[in-house]
Chain A
Amino acid sequence: MADEEGLIQGLKDQRPVALKDFLEQYQERVYNTALSFVKDVPDAEELAQDVFLTVWNSISGFKGESSLSTWVYRITVSKSLDLIRSKQRKKRFAFLTSLTTTRNEIKHHPVNWVHPGILQENKEKAAYLFRAIDQLPDNQKIAFTLSKLEQLSQREIAEVMQIKEGAVESLIQRAKQNLRKYLEGIYDEIK
């Protein structure tokens, strides 16, 4: 397996073997990050493939100012948020069209979606957590997801989000406060 520098050079030289190495090393990370955001297995797989194609096609522009993994995470998060926004637009449009048609086929994310990597005994509660995460503003959602699910350090999250470490800590704290608020609402709803 190539080291990071060799891997980057291999990708820059457009060597297929480098792409294979890259896929081996990054497939799970990219797929899981995408899955945490888009909450749909086929969407996450397609998005992960898009990320790899983007990396392959734009690696010549990678200046090495951050690590390769940071760059890949940045692309993954950005593409995930784009997909979520595009789905939300479609959902709004579908709602509008449903007002004028008799067919009512608005597709929603399943309400009780749980990341498949969550421990079995926590799945029921995690479903509420993911429902609450959906309510967070984008920057809090990114910081919390990368910290909790991808277990990135605050320094790594700061690099991905291109903000200061202190700002990441503050985003995670605010995310937790908001999640507590949303979860209290959910508790009142279900109990």
Chain B
Amino acid sequence: MQTEKQIWVEEVLNSADGAVRAQSSDMTDAVMSRLGTAREYTISPVSNDNSLIWRIAASVALLLLLNVVTIYSYLSNIKRSAQVLEVRAAASEFGLGQSAASDPAAAIFGN
């Protein structure tokens, strides 16, 4: 003979019998949207950041410009040195004074 307590316990234990599935809101959009965000992030985290691309491009352009300036300046120096050597050779050939030979630039361009 079951006591009132035992009957109650069994009823509670079986209270989930016949349960049906609860309805949820449609998750398709939410999942697609989360997936879209996740994919954009994992595939190309940089490509969508235009400001970053422009900053990188500007840095590269600046570096190239600095290189051009440096190379131009280097070539100018070489050219000037060659001219100095030429003038020095000419000065010594024509027997000009030591000062002209030692400072041919002054002889050419003046003080």
Contacts and interface: CB of A to CB of B under 8 A. Distances in A.
Interface of A: 16, 19-20, 23, 27-29, 31-32, 35, 41, 44-45, 48-49, 52-53, 56-57, 115-119, 122, 125-126, 128-129, 132, 148-149, 176, 179-180, 183-184, 187-188, 191
Interface string B20-31: 111111111011
Give the bracket for the number of chain B residues in contact with chain A.
Answer: 20 to 34
Interface stretch (B11-19, B64-72, B96-104): B11-19
Contacts, number: 95
Interface of B: 5, 8-9, 11-13, 15-28, 30-32, 34-35, 38
Contact of A122 (B16, B26, B32): B16
Main secondary structure of the interface of A (DSSP, over half): helix
A19 B32 contact: yes
Given A28-B21, A32-B22, A118-B19, A180 B13 contact: yes
B24 A119 contact: no
Given A23-B28, A53-B31, A56-B35, A149 B19 contact: yes
Contacts of B24: 27-28, 31-32, 41, 44-45, 48
